[in-house]
Amino acid sequence: MSEDAVLVNVEDGVMVVTINRPKAKNSVNLAVAKGIAAAMDQLDSDDSIRAAILTGADNTFCAGMDLKAFVTGELPMIKGRGFAGLVEKLPQKPLIGAVEGFALAGGCELALSCDVLVVGDNVKFGIPEVKRGLAAAAGGLMRLPKQIPPRIAMEMALTGDFISAQRAYELGLINRIVPAGSALEGALEMAKTIAANGPMAVLASKRVVVESGNWSEEEMWKNQAAIVDPVFSSEDAIEGSKAFAEKRAPNWKGK
């Protein structure tokens, strides 16, 4: 694996994962998939890391699968994790997408795999696989209609046409639009806010939001309790309340 295909930097509890193939518009080959998978393993196994950001080098997020590698028989898949080492196994900790330029095909599917998105105002989103005789099988066809109105998702899937950052924001696909070139800065600001919160509370909150969509009315309260009750009985819950009363920053222990 090329050591430069993916760059990983950790500072102040925040990991930044950068797809580093700017000459190929950060398209995903096997080296990128291995690099992202390794970063996600590190994210979830290192208690000092509270959140991660996925971005692309040189003001482009990701143009999708490397088609030149694909025609030679190389597939950018990791067993158990799928395309780009991410889309079939998402991290337990928060993952923020810092998106610039283009998020197309597999690149759009990577963005859809993030928990929140901070996007430059020049970004284009799309799943244009049908224009190449392919299908958006890395989660686009399944995740997109859950994140925007299904009829709009259907239109994007069948036409392969792009939408702008503003349209994506109006549809509720993204969280924040920032001036082009400042998506990483905006994502870092959000990540630092998340990292300052109670780590157990953050993990439990993400888990409930992700899993509750499949819960029935009869089981939802029991399922939520199983996840959040340990948070309420934790040392961090006491510390958070004390810190609030004493008007100071909490000292989280993660237990």
> In the chain, which ranges are E strands?
6-11, 14-19, 51-56, 77-78, 82-83, 95-99, 102-104, 116-120, 124-126, 163-164, 176-178
Catalytically annotated residue among 3, 74, 109, 217: 109
Other CB atoms within 10 A of residue 21 CB: 24
The answer to whether 226 touches 207, Cβ cutoff 8 Å, is no
Q: Is 109 a catalytic residue?
A: yes
Q: Is 217 a catalytic residue?
A: no
Helix (H) or strand (E) run with residue 4 in it: none
Closest by CA position to 5, among listed 17, 19, 15, 16: 19
Catalytically annotated residue among 100, 129, 185, 235: 129
Residues assigned a catalytic role? 109, 129
